[in-house]
Amino acid sequence: EPEVTQTPSHQVTQMGQEVILRCVPISNHLYFYWYRQILGQKVEFLVSFYNNEISEKSEIFDDQFSVERPDGSNFTLKIRSTKLEDSAMYFCASGSPPGSITDTQYFGPGTRLTVL
Amino acid sequence: AQTVTQSQPEMSVQEAETVTLSCTYDTSESDYYLFWYKQPPSRQMILVIRQEAYKQQNATENRFSVNFQKAAKSFSLKISDSQLGDAAMYFCAWSETSGSRLTFGEGTQLTVNP
């Protein structure tokens, strides 16, 4: 069964450094998402991506964040200058295959980002 | 703004018993989708069940079923014949349309006692 994959599983970085989190969505899905979950809190939406552009973003997704689909398979989240409060689990999700009338998002296993 | 509320931070159930997790939401939309996701200690988000608001019939997936009350904006999850592997954090989530963001509740931590 196809699944969303994410790398790395755990990333440790110094405050102020740039990080790139990588995701490979399910191949026939059209929508791609990033969510984050600070430890002990609920899952929060960051951004959605459709047809090679951002379709929606939250207040959290400020100028230090960017997303890219550099090729036909990868979907990346870049944080330009990490802050301590960026420490969280970051989930990639993909959804809505062609012809689907439902909106089911399938999540990857997450990348745990630790900013020191 | 749409909100999702899970009023039970923690629940426990005996193995083989039935438990119901509550979820309410607030929206002015008439068509939308509702979901329950399970998050075990590995922190992977696993889809448990989904419900389309235009469908009156409650969704079921094996031991998992929902009680969807559209007028009351309530979407509870019933787990029958609970198993030790059901122990996890359960999140209720809402989305407006195909492709739109998921809005999550705060989660309910379910413990299954042997």
Q: Which residues in chain B have Cβ-Cβ distances shorter than 8 Å to A95? A: 98-99
Taking residues A60-76, report their average pLDDT.
92
Residue with tokens 């405050």: A15
Whether the CB of A25 is below 8 Å from some CB of chain B: the reply is: no
Q: Return phi, psi of residue A84, to 5°.
A: -55, -40
Spatial neighbors of A60 by CB under 8 A, at least 6 apart, are A36, A44, A46
Between chains, do A102 and B101 touch, taking CB under 8 Å as contact?
no
- Copy the structure tokens of residue A56: 């929606």
Taking residues A4-16, report their average pLDDT.
96
Task: Answer yes or no: is pLDDT of A13 > 70.
Answer: yes
Q: Return phi, psi of residue A113, to 5°.
A: -100, 125
Between chains, do B43 and A110 touch, taking CB under 8 Å as contact?
yes
Paired with B90 in beta bridges are B38, B108
- What's residue A97's pLDDT? 65
Least confident of A95-99, B36-40, B52-56, B100-104: A95-99
What average pLDDT is seen over chain B?
Answer: 93
**Contact predicate A9/A109, CB 8 Å:** yes
